[in-house]
Amino acid sequence: MLLARLSEARGVSGDEGAVRELILEAVRPHIDAYRIDSMGNLLVVKGKDKPGPRVMVAAHMDEVGLMITRIEKSGLLRFAKVGGLDDRLLPGKRVRVGPDGVPGVIGSKPIHLDRKASSVTPADELYIDIGATSCEEAEKLVRPGQYATFDTAFGELGQGCWKGKAFDDRVGCALLAALLEEEYDFPFYAAFTVQEEIGLRGAATAAYTIAPDVALVLEGTTCADIPGADEHGQSTRLGHGPAITAMDRTVIPPRWLTDRLVAAAERRGIPYQWKRTTFGGTDAGRIHQARAGIPSAVVSVPCRYIHSPCAVMSQQDYHNAARLVRGFLEDLSEGGVPRHGD
């Protein structure tokens, strides 16, 4: 299963190569051409010479993680966070370090020796223990500048859920790869982007290169249907279908585009929900500003505990997101892309 392999692949922002190779292997039989740009985006196309609007669907390959910044004399590794990670989640977690995946554990001062144990230990006071007893021993295995990812296996959880790391946004990558197996009546471009988690960087260059008439971003988004969360603050709910974004910190999709998504869902009896909160952002924030402006919308799969060592999502939400996007693309062939103000 591609989603399982993508979830377990290691690809922190700026180091997406392993993820890109998995995706390219999966999509190569179904595309006309591809290129890897200087940022590391994987840009593919099928039906390049067909008439109709240039449609771009994007999903980012990178995940949040850690970068090794220093090796102590003791052999312990200091690190910096790459992307939005909560310090509360780090101590005691298993990680893999460097291209060889050296196993390690994130450590901190033991609670019985820490007078501030009731507070959260900041990341710059934590370290990674790989079992080395000296700097020299550790340097044989890792070096500063290399990445560390959480060591989490993909698998089923309970009735109808999956658990794993990096669902933000390997879920979008898996959905987009599956879309490339279909045929479309227009030029279809897929952008597997880099460095979303540190500023939507790859999306900016991808959108400029492709210059689409319309864009759709596929994401794994926050889900807060948990005890203690106020109902109005529950951005999405697990099992209630894919989420459509009306607004977030980086983009307000044009109404005609979200209306098309809603119509595609309702015409086919696909459950959907609106993302209730407006914080955060996606690649759409950079795509819609490219060139003279690109109408852009976002469809997301709700995931509990994203940006953590292990997230949870509904299998039905995933499959319904695929149905929704396929339906939207089918309808786009019929309705075209309106000009501003139409």
Identify the CA nearest to 101 among candidates 166, 138, 164, 146: 146
Residue with tokens 């879920």: 171
**Tokens matching residue 313:** 């999502």
CA distances from residue 128 to 118, 141, 146, 183, 200 in whole angstroms, order as listed: 21, 13, 13, 47, 28
Residue numbers annotated as active site: 196
**Mode of pairing for the β-strands spanning 311-314 and 296-304:** antiparallel
CA distances from residue 231 to 224, 234, 275 in whole angstroms, order as listed: 9, 5, 12
Q: Are 43 and 272 in contact (CB under 8 A)?
A: no
DSSP 8-state secondary structure symbol assigned to residue 92: T
